[in-house]
Each structure stands twice: as C-alpha cells, then as structure tokens.
Amino acid sequence: MRKKRTFRIRSDDDSLIDLTPLIDVVFVVLIAFILVAPLLEVDHVDLAPSSVNSEKEISNKSSLAVYVRKDNSIWLNKQCVTLDELLFQLRQRRKLFANEVPQLFHDSEAHFGMYQKVKNAFEVAGFEKMDVILQGQGK
C-alpha cells in the first residue's frame, strides 16, 4: 500500500511581525512630548552687536557692576561679598534705582554655576534685565 503524502502549506502570517504595539508606544511618547514641551523653561539671551569700541561704552553704562573673578569670588563696589550679602545689596539698589540695568562682569575661567547663582540673585532682587560682560577671553 502506498502512503499518502500530506503537504502543509505555511502561511505568511507566521513570519510577519505585528507592529501595532510598537506604533501605540510611539504615539504615547509623542503625546507625552507634546504635553511636556510647553512646560519647559528656556532662558533666552539677546546678543549685543560686537564692536571694538563698545567695551568702553559698556563699562561706564551702569553704576551697579558685579564682578565674578576666576576664583569664583563675587565683588560688588570693590568689596568681596557672599551671595546672601549680594542679594541684600541688590534689593537695596533696586529700591533706590528702579530703572537701573545691572552689569555682570564674569571671568571666562569662573564656573558657570556661579553665573547662574548671580543671575538668580538679580531675578530675586527684582531686576528684569542685566548686561553680561565676559572677561579674560583670549588669554
């Protein structure tokens, strides 16, 4: 007697990958980014036009100048101050001179974290603008 041979036809469905769960995850991540993006705060810095003679104009522009030296010390009115003393002095100056724009002279070798702390002190004291002058470049 002869044996019957049976052939099984393999369907293409077994070899396909179901992409539906992957697409669902991508949409969830996309929606999360759309919801979170407006909540992020980004500081914007307006850059001044550069010129050789502008440094002399800037240095005489404001009577409130804060210096951050390369050893991260803070100087106000030729006196070394702490962050708390700086904040107190800035609040006093803000009461006396409401329209004054303070200047921050920041050494290029000083830490960025110190710049951020001084900038935050300006904001807490009530100043809306400040001029940033980087020093020590090209050395």
Go through the domains of the chain in sequence order and give each one's CATH number: 58-135 (3.30.420.270)
Contact 90, 102 (CB under 8 A): yes
> Would you call 9 exposed, middle or buried from its count of C-beta atoms within 10 A (0-12, 13-18, 19+)?
exposed
**120-139: buried (b, 16+ CB within 10 Å) or exposed (e) per residue?**
ebbeebebeebeebebeeee
pLDDT of 60 reads 53
Say how far apart CA 91 and CA 86 lie, in whole Å: 9
pLDDT at 84 exceeding the cut of 80: yes
Q: How confident is the model at residue 99 (pLDDT cuts 50, 70, 90)?
A: confident
- Among 55-64, 84-93, 125-134, top mean pLDDT goes to 84-93
Tell me the percentage of the chain whose pLDDT exceeds 70: 71
Say how far apart CA 67 and CA 135 lie, in whole Å: 10
How do beta strands 74-76 and 79-81 pair? antiparallel
3-class SS of residue 61: coil
pLDDT at 61 exceeding the cut of 70: no
DSSP output for 75-105: EETTEEE-HHHHHHHHHHHHHH-TT---EEE
* Mean per-residue pLDDT of the chain: 79
pLDDT of 28 reads 96
Distance (Å) of CA 86 to CA 45, 67, 100: 22, 11, 16
Structure token pair of residue 20:
């539906």
pLDDT at 134 exceeding the cut of 70: yes
pLDDT at 139 exceeding the cut of 80: no
